[in-house]
Amino acid sequence: MRKLRQTKPSPKAVAGPPSDRVATVWSAVRDARKAAVQTLRNAIATRTPLRGADVDDAARAVITQRGFEHAFLHRTGHSIDVRSLHGSGPNMDNFETHEERMLAPGVGFSIEPGIYIEGELGVRSEVNAWCGAAEVVVTPRESQEELEVV
């Protein structure tokens, strides 16, 4: 049996202004999400073939440039279809499964990069996207840009 490592508890939520560290991590995650969406929009607008792995690469490049590559431990997003939230179409992944399938009109998926620093903090930001023949629909229409202070 594998023994679980004990870690000190971390808060589940924080009320009040974010620390500089949280703000830095949030900015990296937000900008990674935006880079993935922009990569997708550019490809659709120019009718350039795009793999799920390419979208993951765009998000991962931002997080790597900010020095948090060690803390981005999952794919950028997963397929969403009418049968399942985690659908059978292409995932935004060049980390876990190295998705080679192309993003074609009619596919839907999440874009949800995250940074998780064990025992300290975790930040994820998600939008969902659908590819049309000449457009990308992203929901929500206006994505979160700043941290919400409670």
DSSP character for 149?
P
The span from the CA of 29 to the CA of 6, in Å, is 27
- By the 8 A CB rule, do 57 and 69 touch? no
Asked whether the predicted pLDDT for residue 135 surpasses 80, the reply is: yes
- By the 8 A CB rule, do 56 and 95 touch? yes
Q: Architecture of 20-138 per CATH?
A: Alpha-Beta Complex (3.90)
Q: Write down the residue that tokens 């060049």 correspond to.
A: 94
Buried b (16+ CB within 10 A) or exposed e, 15-54: eeebeeeeeebbbbbbbbbbbbbebbeebbeeeeebbbbb
The span from the CA of 20 to the CA of 100, in Å, is 38
Residues in a beta bridge with 139 = 128
pLDDT in tens, 30-82: 999 999 999 999 999 999 999 999 999 999 999 999 999 999 999 999 999 87
Read off the pLDDT of each residue in 109-126 and give the average, rounded to a whole number: 96
Task: Give the type of residue at 72.
Answer: F
- By the 8 A CB rule, do 92 and 107 touch? no
